[in-house]
């Protein structure tokens, strides 16, 4: 269901402690909010890449506010397998923006940033699997026509 030309966004927590998981989700929200606006106006993957690259200094500013060590990588990164809404997303190397917090030994969170599918859970958290899959297909179709 994820198109060949896509960019993922991943945040890996320092540990599984409640504090580290909370920091991970707060950082995820801060960065995601900034990037989502940019991705929604990107006409293609090339434009999305340029916008992300230009935004790296601003993302670092966000991360520096939390006074935690981090690694930020935009390129090809390894992703674990994920099962979501009955769909299995295989592990592999994917183009992505990855933020690793501290030692990076905690649970991770990821989504597809381009096409902008990151907000699916927030916007459609009460729909059934069929509606979810149809909604994703509509979004993907709208970006493949640009």
Whether 116 is covered by a domain: the verdict is yes
Report the SS3 class of residue 8. Answer: strand
Q: Residue 129: which residues within 8 A CB-CB, separation 6 or more? A: 85, 86
For residue 12, what are the domain limits? 7-144
The whole-number average pLDDT for the span 91-112 is 94
**2 assigned to some structural domain:** no
pLDDT of 138 reads: 58
Structural domain count, the chain: 1
Question: 119 lies in a domain?
Answer: yes
Mean pLDDT, rounded, for 99-122: 84
Under 8 Å between Cβ of 95 and 112: no
Q: Given pLDDT bands bounded at 50, 70 and 90, which one contains residue 12?
A: very high
What is the pLDDT, as a whole number, of residue 116? 82
The C-alpha R_g of the chain, in whole angstroms, comes to 15
* Average pLDDT over all residues of the chain: 84
Residue 125, CB-side half-sphere exposure with 13 Å CA sphere: 5
Residue 137 lies in a domain: yes
Query: Is the pLDDT assigned to residue 136 strictly greater than 60?
Result: no
Q: Dump pLDDT digits (tens) for 20-54.
A: 999 999 999 999 988 988 898 999 999 999 999 99
Residue 132 has pLDDT above 50, yes or no: no
């Amino acid at each position: 269901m994820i198109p060949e030309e896509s960019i993922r966004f991943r945040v890996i927590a320092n540990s599984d402690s409640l504090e580290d998981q909370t920091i991970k989700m707060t950082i995820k929200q801060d960065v995601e909010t900034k990037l989502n606006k940019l991705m929604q106006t990107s006409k293609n993957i090339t434009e999305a890449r340029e916008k992300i690259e230009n935004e790296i200094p601003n993302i670092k500013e966000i991360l520096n506010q939390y006074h935690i060590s981090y690694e930020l990588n935009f390129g090809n990164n390894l992703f674990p397998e994920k099962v979501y809404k009955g769909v299995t997303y295989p592990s592999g190397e994917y183009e992505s923006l990855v933020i690793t917090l501290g030692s990076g030994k905690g649970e991770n969170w990821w989504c597809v940033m381009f096409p902008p599918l990151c907000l699916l859970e927030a916007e459609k958290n009460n729909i059934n699997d069929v509606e979810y899959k149809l909604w994703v297909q509509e979004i993907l179709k709208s970006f493949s026509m640009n």
